[in-house]
Each structure stands twice: as C-alpha cells, then as structure tokens.
Amino acid sequence: MDALSETLRVVRLSGAIFFNARFSAPWCYQAGSAEEAAPMLDAGAENLLIFHMITEGECFVELDGQPTMKLVAGDVVLFTRGHAHRMTSAPGLAPAQGRRLGSLFSRRPRLLSFGGGGAVTRLVCGYLASDARLAAMLMTGLGPILRVNVRGSGAGDWLEASLRYALAEARSPRPGGAGVLSKLAEVLFIEVLRIHMAEQGEGGTGWLAGVRDRIVGAALTALHQKPAEAWTLEQLARQIGTSRSVLAARFQRLVGQAPMQYLTQWRMVLAAGLLRHSNAQLTHIAQEVGYQNDTAFIRAFRREYGASPGAWRRRQQAG
C-alpha cells in the first residue's frame, strides 16, 4: 500500500456537504475562514479544509493577496490554509448581505438560490475535518488554493452523478442521505489529491511531491507500513535501493525534513489517533508506534503536542 493510501487508512477523516447552491449573475458570496466556520460546521474538528465544486457554468474566486482565479464546470477548489474568500460571477462585485453563517449552517445541506437572474452557476460546497498535523503534512508545499478539474479523471463523471443523487436523497425523507454525502466528500478530497499528484510537474516540493517521487515515495511507503520498525537512515536506504546521501538529500528537499525526523512525527500522529479513539494503555500505544519504554514515548509526544499523552487524552475526552 502506498504512503497516501496508508495515511488515509490510518488517520480518521470526516467530511460533509453544507451548501448546494444555484446562483444567477450578477452574484457574489463571501465565505468566511475555516476557523470562523469550524464551530458551526464541526465543533470537535482540529482543522477544516473547505472546498467548492463547480457543477454548471463558471465563476471566479477572489482571495486577498492572490490573483483572481476563473473556475469552470468540473473544477474543484480546495482552500489549503482556510482563508476567507469570495465566490463571484465577475471580479470586483460586492458580496451579498444575507443571513448569518450560524443560521445558514443550521440545516445541511442547505439549498441556496439567489442572484440577478442572469447566467446560472451551480456549485457544491463542503469540508473535510482532520487532525491539524495531518492537514499540515498533506498540504505542505501547496499554495493557498489548490484547483483541479475532475472531469478529466476517470472518477469525475461518477463523482458528479453520485453527488447529484446524494443531494436529492438528502432532501428526501429516506434516512442515510447525509451519511452518503459525507463519504462522497471524502472520496472527492482523495480524488483531488490524486489528480494533483498526477498533474504535478518536476520541481514541486511538499509531501505530495515526495509521495510521487520514486525514491522518497518508496521511503515514505516503508515508514508508513512499518512505523514501529527500528529504522535507521542506512537501513531505510538499503531497503529502497539507494544511498544514504541520496535519500537524505532528496527527502529533505521534497518533504522539508530528515527521514528520521519525519518518522517521529508520523509516529506521534498515530499515537494521537490511538489516544483519542481507544482506551489502550500508554505502554501498549508506545510499543505500537515503536517505543520500547514509556519514558521515551512520553518525551517525544510532549515535544510534538505540548502535553503528556495522559494529559492530552484527558483534554480530548473532556472536549
């Protein structure tokens, strides 16, 4: 199993669709930051990644400090750093004054329909909630907006048809519609990452670029498949058939840190998941992530999360 698949298998993600919108030109919608929306969308989430998918027509996205970006049907935009932004039928329009976000998010997916009666744009808005460290890892090296067009991918037609069906089901009295939408939001997110990786040219940096690289990708896969292994740089290089110097230099350039430093951080992400979602004893968790004694594990966890594993678990349970 590759590093991306292993990461998504181990770390829990949760998604949802919150708007199914039909806008007619002229229109402009001001979207708040992920930090502002998080308490209303998913109060327990450490991090939210907001996305929009254009299913009909075209529009523009405006983000302060960034060039205006035109979007067409099939485009999905993911806001990697959670910035506030504007979706609009034409650049420079003033946002509509509407209800407060709390009332809009009170029932999901909310059907939105407004505008001046001109050309129609339809879009679906959703989010993915995840561990903050996972989001930071996946989004390393990316700009504030990630855009791909899913209609060029094998899964694009199926995704759009499935979303239309699930949105219709969510408005019906039959149970389970929201659950289907949640899963589709996760599938859409994964497909966006896969398309981006396939389209990424040489010279890119970040975790996704590392997964795509022959040497670094093999190293990441090995570390993710056997995180409890007593890895050394030499052993890892030998496993993937390269030299220590080549592996170290390539890993540092693409991922931004040394392989063993990355391994420690990944072990702590795994440990946090076990602490949050299980009642396993600290000794067992320490061994699961590659530590033979509690002391070394507690020290490493405190460095990464700013609290001991026990204190961090109690805080999560209280939250």
CA-atom Rg of the chain in angstroms? 21
On the question of pLDDT at 36 being above 70, the answer is: yes
Tell me what the mean pLDDT of segment 283-294 comes to.
94
What percent of the chain is modeled with pLDDT above 70?
93
- The two structure tokens encoding residue 247: 């592996």
On the question of pLDDT at 109 being above 80, the answer is: no
| Residue ranges matching CATH 1.10.10.60 in the chain | 213-318
- The two structure tokens encoding residue 156: 């694009």
Distance between CA atoms of residues 277 and 79, nearest Å: 27
Determine the pLDDT at residue 71.
Answer: 97
User: Of the ranges 26-35, 59-68, 132-141, 229-238, which one carries the lowest mean pLDDT score?
Assistant: 132-141
Distance between CA atoms of residues 197 and 194, nearest Å: 5
What percent of the chain is modeled with pLDDT above 90?
55
| Residue ranges matching CATH 2.60.120.10 in the chain | 3-199
Confidence of residue 272 (pLDDT cuts 50, 70, 90): very high
- Cβ burial of 92 (10 Å; 0-12, 13-18, 19+) is exposed
Q: For residues 60 and 95, is the Cβ–Cβ distance under 8 A? A: no
Q: For residues 110 and 18, is the Cβ–Cβ distance under 8 A? A: yes
Determine the pLDDT at residue 285.
Answer: 96
Determine the pLDDT at residue 13.
Answer: 79
209-243 confidence digits (pLDDT tens): 999 999 999 999 999 999 999 999 999 999 999 99
User: Of the ranges 50-59, 72-81, 131-140, which one carries the lowest mean pLDDT score?
Assistant: 131-140
| pTM, 2 dp | 0.87
Distance between CA atoms of residues 153 and 244, nearest Å: 37
On the question of pLDDT at 112 being above 60, the answer is: yes
Determine the pLDDT at residue 111.
Answer: 81
- Cβ burial of 78 (10 Å; 0-12, 13-18, 19+) is buried
Residue predicted with more confidence, 69 or 109: 69
On the question of pLDDT at 110 being above 90, the answer is: no
Determine the pLDDT at residue 108.
Answer: 62
Residue 114, phi then psi, degrees to nearest 5: -160, 170
Distance between CA atoms of residues 94 and 282, nearest Å: 54
* Alpha helices, DSSP H, located in the chain: 3-10, 34-41, 101-104, 132-139, 156-170, 177-199, 207-212, 214-225, 233-240, 244-255, 259-277, 282-288, 294-305, 309-318
Determine the pLDDT at residue 319.
Answer: 65
In angstroms, how far is the first alpha carbon of the chain from the final one? Answer: 34
The mean of the pLDDT values for the chain is 88
3-state class of 236 per DSSP?
A: helix
Classify domain 3-199 by CATH number: 2.60.120.10
User: Of the ranges 21-30, 71-80, 109-118, which one carries the lowest mean pLDDT score?
Assistant: 109-118
On the question of pLDDT at 102 being above 70, the answer is: no
Distance between CA atoms of residues 62 and 269, nearest Å: 34
Residue predicted with more confidence, 239 or 3: 239
On the question of pLDDT at 105 being above 90, the answer is: no
115-168 confidence digits (pLDDT tens): 999 999 999 998 888 888 888 888 988 999 999 999 877 777 888 888 887 877
Q: What are the beta bridge partners of residue 61?
A: 69, 87
User: Of the ranges 28-32, 65-69, 178-182, 233-237, which one carries the lowest mean pLDDT score?
Assistant: 178-182
Q: For residues 247 and 241, is the Cβ–Cβ distance under 8 A? A: no
- The two structure tokens encoding residue 285: 């968790």
Residue among 53, 50, 45, 20 at smallest CA distance from 34 = 50
Classify domain 213-318 by CATH number: 1.10.10.60
